[in-house]
Amino acid sequence: MHIVQDILDVKGSEIYSIAPDSTVFTALKIFEEKNIGALLVMEGDRLEGIVTERDYARKVILRNRGYKEILVKEIMTPRVICIRHDQHIEDCMALMGSRQVRHLPVLREGRLVGLVSIRDVIAAVIAEKEFLIEQLENYITGDVKRK
Q: How many domains does the chain have?
A: 1
Q: Which pLDDT does position 125 carry in this prediction?
A: 87
Closest listed residue to residue 49, CA positions, set 27, 25, 34, 67 = 27
The string of pLDDT tens digits covering residues 81-140 is 999 999 999 999 999 999 999 999 999 999 999 999 999 999 988 888 887 888 888 888
Q: Which pLDDT does position 145 carry in this prediction?
A: 58
Is residue 109 in some structural domain?
A: yes
C-alpha to C-alpha distance for 37 and 42, rounded to whole angstroms: 16
Q: Which pLDDT does position 131 carry in this prediction?
A: 78
CATH of the domain at 115: 3.10.580.10
Is residue 147 in some structural domain?
A: no
Is residue 58 in some structural domain?
A: yes
Amino acid of residue 73: K
The string of pLDDT tens digits covering residues 25-45 is 999 999 999 999 999 999 998
List phi, psi (to 5°) of 126. -65, -45
Q: Which domain holds residue 132?
A: 4-141
Contacts of 74 (CB under 8 A, 6+ apart): 24, 59
Q: Which pLDDT does position 80 carry in this prediction?
A: 95
Quote the pTM value: 0.83
Q: Which pLDDT does position 57 carry in this prediction?
A: 86
